[in-house]
Amino acid sequence: MTTRISGLGTTGLDIDSIVSQMMKVKQAPIDQMIQKRTSLTWQRDAYRDVNTDMSSFMNEAQKLTLQATFMTQKTTLSTTDAGKVQVSPTAKALTGNFSLKVDKIAKVASVGSTAPVGTFTATAGTINVAGSLGNKDITINAGDSVSQIVANINGATASTGVKAVYDQLSDKVTFVSSQTGAAAKINIKETTPTSNLTNLKIAPANQNIDIPGQDAEVYFNGSTDVIKASSNSFTLNNINFTLLADPAGTPYTINGSNNLDVDSVVSTIKGVFDKYNTLIDKMNSKISETKYRDYTPLTDDQKKEMKDADITLWEEKAKSGLLRNDSILSSGLNAMRNDLSSNVSGIAGDQYNDLSDIGITTYQSSGSSSYLAYLEKGKIYIDEDKLRTALINNPDQVANLFTKDGARDASGNLTNVNDAGIGTRLYDTLKKDIIAQITAKTQVVPTQSYLNQQINDYSTRIQTEQDKLSDYEQSLYNKYTALQTSLENLSSQGSQLASYFK
């Protein structure tokens, strides 16, 4: 801590003012280092923001590398079938028509009171409840209510696979298996002979209950081979079915078809390129942003003399152009444009080997000249009608145009970009040529980036110089205090001498 003797004293020296002026001279180079560190920190943060944007778009672009994106299907059923079954194709389902004849739906095993229970008095005893999961003895105490017996049975459901319900309105008890299918069952017997089941109106005295469940039974595409399923939700030929209606003894047949969901595929492609247009617009603005060289980061002393609104406006100018003409962004944007504009070689049939073949271009398809396209720096336009036609006529080629992979070296890098599909090469460019380089600019581990090293170096130098500045300030106060003391002593001696001549 600096020790100060302030004030003018008898000598008239304003030590504080003198030291302050001399400290400003010494502070100036430190302020310059602080400003430089601030600029580098802003630049690092700008790179991190770009990396976030690029990574987000890379996840979107990955959709264009997946066959599943271009194989999305939808099922069409007749309106009369909609209430009987729910159908959804998996990614591997074949397109075309299908039929499903339903003889039976899967059912639980169930048994219940044949009449209202009425007045019920439990007698002490034990019943054994067995289901698809196992069996367990349920103890009934004398005087237990119907609700208590039901609660005891349900407490063992995890072990038996059987649950019970008591409906007070109808005054009946129902036992139900927790699963459907023939394997589901209800077996109940009184291991200690009592009249509890009889009094619950479930079974005559001393009679065991043994009720099976029921499998669903269906026939697919006219086959005479019955297909059984323990659940009403099952998958056949990569088509998911959920049976909703019980044939009730009269089988029914549902007819449908699986077709490429063109709307869904178009929506996905449009969504990716909408985000692409937003990304390149933002990145192009970054590399062309004006650099205001007269607006440097403000020092603490400068901020003290300014209003908050003025500080905000100043820093907006100071942060402008941090990535102007940045080589990573410039080369990355050029690489992405090349990815989209180059033909894809080796596609069977060779009908669609360029994005323009399916209506995706860098200019609006209106029959007019595209000479203004360069002004938009690669913005993508989509002719939906042309894209839909391509998907309907040859979906496999459209899929290959985007998803085709190319030969790769031992490191996993494409050896010939033109062999790879549009989505594949775009994803690789984002991951390996752009994001990897930006990450290297801002990373701390496994090795610290050069940008972070510069920031840390400035921090170390600033701290060292600030420590020296504190010592320098103390030395100035020591010198001027000594000077003031000497002058005061000299003045005192002069006054004493002058008194001798009076």
What CATH number corresponds to the domain at position 136? 3.30.70.2120
pLDDT at residue number 349: 72
Question: Quick one: 201 and 222 in the same domain?
Answer: no
Least confident of 70-84, 110-124, 479-493: 479-493
pLDDT at residue number 397: 93
Reported as a pLDDT band with limits 50, 70 and 90, residue 501 is: low
Query: Which residue is listed with tokens 């609104």?
Result: 309
In a domain, residue 254? The reply is yes
Question: Quick one: 182 and 241 in the same domain?
Answer: no
- Asked which of 227, 260, 293 is the last residue of a domain, the reply is 260
Q: 359-379: per-residue pLDDT in tens?
A: 999 876 555 445 555 667 889
- Which is more confidently placed, 463 or 268? 268
What is the mean predicted confidence (pLDDT) over 292-310?
Answer: 93
Question: Quick one: 299 and 410 in the same domain?
Answer: yes
Question: Quick one: 253 and 116 in the same domain?
Answer: no
In a domain, residue 447? The reply is no
CB 340 within 8 A of CB 417: no
pLDDT at residue number 369: 47
Least confident of 17-26, 72-81, 245-254, 429-438: 17-26
Which residue range(s) make up the domain with 403? 41-67+264-355+384-442
Question: Quick one: 202 and 222 in the same domain?
Answer: no
pLDDT at residue number 372: 53
Separation of alpha carbons 115 and 403, rounded Å: 66
What is the mean predicted confidence (pLDDT) over 32-52?
Answer: 95
Residue 22 pLDDT > 80: no
Give me the number of domains the chain comprises: 3
Residue 5 pLDDT > 70: no
Question: Quick one: 117 and 238 in the same domain?
Answer: no
Least confident of 98-102, 139-143, 169-173, 191-195: 191-195
pLDDT at residue number 209: 87
What residues does 99 pair with on adjacent strands? 255
Separation of alpha carbons 7 and 480, rounded Å: 12
In a domain, residue 369? The reply is no
- Which is more confidently placed, 471 or 357? 357
pLDDT at residue number 94: 83
Question: Quick one: 174 and 297 in the same domain?
Answer: no
In a domain, residue 502? The reply is no
What is the mean predicted confidence (pLDDT) over 226-236?
Answer: 96
Question: Quick one: 289 and 189 in the same domain?
Answer: no
In a domain, residue 479? The reply is no
In a domain, residue 200? The reply is yes
Question: Quick one: 164 and 119 in the same domain?
Answer: yes
- CA nearest 438: which of 44, 11, 32? 44
Report in angstroms the alpha-carbon separations of 431 from 95, 326, 330, 474: 34, 18, 16, 55
pLDDT at residue number 368: 47
Question: Quick one: 208 and 325 in the same domain?
Answer: no
Question: Quick one: 333 and 395 in the same domain?
Answer: yes
Separation of alpha carbons 461 and 190, rounded Å: 89
pLDDT at residue number 77: 86
Beta strands in 5-72 (DSSP E): none
Q: What percent of the chain has pLDDT over 70?
A: 89
pLDDT at residue number 153: 95
In a domain, residue 102? The reply is yes
Residue 494 pLDDT > 90: no
Average per-residue pLDDT for the chain: 88
**Class of residue 138 by CB neighbours under 10 A (exposed 0-12, middle 13-18, buried 19+):** buried
Separation of alpha carbons 105 and 100, rounded Å: 12
Least confident of 17-26, 80-89, 406-415, 457-466: 17-26
In a domain, residue 19? The reply is no
pLDDT at residue number 144: 93
Q: 98-137: per-residue pLDDT in tens?
A: 999 999 999 999 999 999 999 998 999 999 999 999 999 9
Listing DSSP states for 442-482 in one string gives H--SSS--HHHHHHHHHHHHHHHHHHHHHHHHHHHHHHHHH
Least confident of 17-31, 140-154, 284-298: 17-31
What is the mean predicted confidence (pLDDT) over 492-496?
Answer: 69
**Class of residue 159 by CB neighbours under 10 A (exposed 0-12, middle 13-18, buried 19+):** middle
Contacts of 215 (CB under 8 A, 6+ apart): 104, 106, 181, 182, 228, 229, 230
Question: Quick one: 181 and 324 in the same domain?
Answer: no
pLDDT at residue number 375: 65
